[in-house]
């Protein structure tokens, strides 16, 4: 029903906007809750057992994170008499709120729900989950002042490493994208306390790159690496562009995805954190390996059953191809 869909999408937008606009913890929490409640019917709309399972897992983790957040902000109000987001001073609620938001966006070691949930969804809802749902918790993370740097560095480093190691043995594209998401979020959290503007830049480029990757997979109707191997016949032009999109996600120099990594490493080096920068850069190589693997499966191997008689080369859906063209161009050439 289009009315229900419109209502849910409006709810998604409203929840994020409320969180953006609030300086009071209770309002921020309400925005996050509206956000969660709006996406849950979207996730379960296909009534597939895996979709329902993913929705349940998502609901439970988000509810836990929201409860932690509410508990921490109430504790903060009780200890300091402050409900203001920017004036958090007590270390206990600060730590608790950081962990709650980390659970919300799926940072390691609270990441285990993300690949499972993303695997059960269709690509469109998965795209919303990977991009739009990250905005509100990130807005809160950016606003919290004087959080313990050790916590953020630990979360960030763990996420880049887990995102790299976890994606290595996956054959399902959505799980690979989930681990890639964890790794990218790790980079953003690493730099959060030193340069918030870089975090925003990394978030923005991540959104653009993820958008084009999800759209490519949607257009190919492929959810596993094996399905990508036969995509050459479906869309030759697209198949030759996709490796560039994937390598941009991995962060190779001439492409857009290199920019945030480059600037983040530069900033970490300026802060005398060379070992941290080295570890982050090495963990990016792990991610690069599985992007290369997908690129290899798409372009450098010919599928044995290429029936050239059934090549639907021309795309008929402009509502998919126009955003794809814009996003792909941005992913490849923004540097």
Give CA torsion, residues 110, 112, 118, 121, to 10 deg: -110
pLDDT band at 22 (very low <50, low <70, confident <90, very high): very high
Write down the pLDDT at residue 328.
Answer: 92
Q: The whole model's pTM is what?
A: 0.94
Rounded Cα distance between 245 and 154, Å, is 29
Rounded Cα distance between 298 and 275, Å, is 36
Mean pLDDT of all residues in 162-187: 96
- Out of 62-66, 82-86, 188-192, 298-302, least confident range: 298-302
Rounded Cα distance between 47 and 49, Å, is 6
What average pLDDT does the chain have? 92
224 SS3 class: strand
Write down the pLDDT at residue 312.
Answer: 55
Rounded Cα distance between 279 and 202, Å, is 18
- Out of 18-32, 151-165, 227-241, 279-293, least confident range: 227-241
pLDDT at 65 over 80: yes
Concatenating the DSSP letter of every residue in 259-273 gives HHHHHHHHHHHHTT-
Give CA torsion, residues 95, 98, 103, 104, to 10 deg: 150
Task: Tell how far CA 166 is from the center of its chain.
Answer: 15
- Out of 10-14, 46-50, 318-322, least confident range: 318-322
Rounded Cα distance between 147 and 151, Å, is 8
Rounded Cα distance between 240 and 107, Å, is 32
Q: Which one-letter DSSP state was computed for residue 144?
A: -
pLDDT at 62 over 90: yes
Bridge partners of 224, per DSSP, are: 172
Asked if 264 contacts 198 with a C-beta cutoff of 8 angstroms, the reply is: yes
Instruction: Report the candidate in 238, 241, 236, 226 with the shortest Cα–Cα distance to residue 294.
Output: 226
Write down the pLDDT at residue 98.
Answer: 97
pLDDT at 251 over 60: yes
Give CA torsion, residues 173, 178, 181, 185, to 10 deg: -160
Rounded Cα distance between 56 and 323, Å, is 31
Mean pLDDT of all residues in 21-34: 97
Write down the pLDDT at residue 285.
Answer: 94
Asked if 271 contacts 149 with a C-beta cutoff of 8 angstroms, the reply is: no
Mean pLDDT of all residues in 168-177: 94
Asked if 178 contacts 114 with a C-beta cutoff of 8 angstroms, the reply is: yes
pLDDT at 54 over 80: yes
- Out of 47-61, 128-142, 212-226, least confident range: 212-226
**Whole-number percent of the chain with pLDDT over 90:** 81
Write down the pLDDT at residue 307.
Answer: 57
pLDDT at 63 over 90: yes
């Amino acid at each position: 029903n289009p009315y229900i869909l419109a209502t849910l999408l409006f709810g998604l937008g409203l929840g994020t906007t409320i969180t953006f606009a609030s300086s009071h913890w209770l309002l921020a929490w309400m925005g996050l809750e509206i956000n969660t409640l709006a996406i849950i019917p979207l996730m379960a709309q296909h009534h597939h057992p895996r979709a329902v399972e993913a929705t349940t897992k998502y609901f439970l983790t988000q509810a836990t994170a929201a409860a932690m957040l509410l508990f921490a902000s109430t504790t903060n109000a009780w200890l300091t008499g402050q409900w203001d987001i920017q004036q958090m001073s007590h270390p206990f609620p600060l730590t608790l709120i950081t962990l709650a938001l980390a659970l919300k966006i799926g940072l390691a070691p609270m990441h285990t729900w993300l690949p499972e949930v993303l695997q059960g969804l269709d690509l469109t809802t998965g795209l919303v989950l990977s991009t739009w749902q990250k905005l509100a918790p990130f807005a809160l993370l950016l606003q919290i002042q004087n959080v313990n740097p050790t916590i953020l560095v630990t979360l960030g480093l763990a996420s880049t490493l887990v995102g790299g190691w976890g994606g290595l043995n996956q054959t399902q594209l959505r799980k690979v994208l989930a681990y890639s998401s964890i790794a990218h979020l790790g980079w953003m959290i690493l730099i959060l306390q030193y340069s918030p503007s870089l975090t925003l830049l990394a978030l923005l480029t991540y959104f653009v790159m993820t958008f084009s990757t999800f759209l490519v997979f949607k257009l190919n109707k492929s959810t596993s690496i094996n399905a990508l191997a036969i995509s050459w016949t479906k869309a030759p032009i697209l198949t030759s562009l996709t490796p560039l999109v994937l390598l941009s996600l991995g962060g190779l120099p001439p492409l857009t995805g290199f920019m945030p990594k480059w600037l983040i490493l530069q900033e970490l080096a300026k802060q005398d954190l060379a070992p941290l920068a080295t570890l982050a850069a090495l963990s990016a190589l792990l991610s690069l390996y599985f992007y290369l693997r997908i690129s290899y499966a798409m372009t450098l191997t010919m599928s044995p059953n290429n029936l050239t008689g059934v090549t639907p080369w021309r795309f008929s859906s402009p509502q998919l191809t126009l955003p794809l063209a814009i996003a792909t161009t941005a992913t490849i050439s923004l540097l």
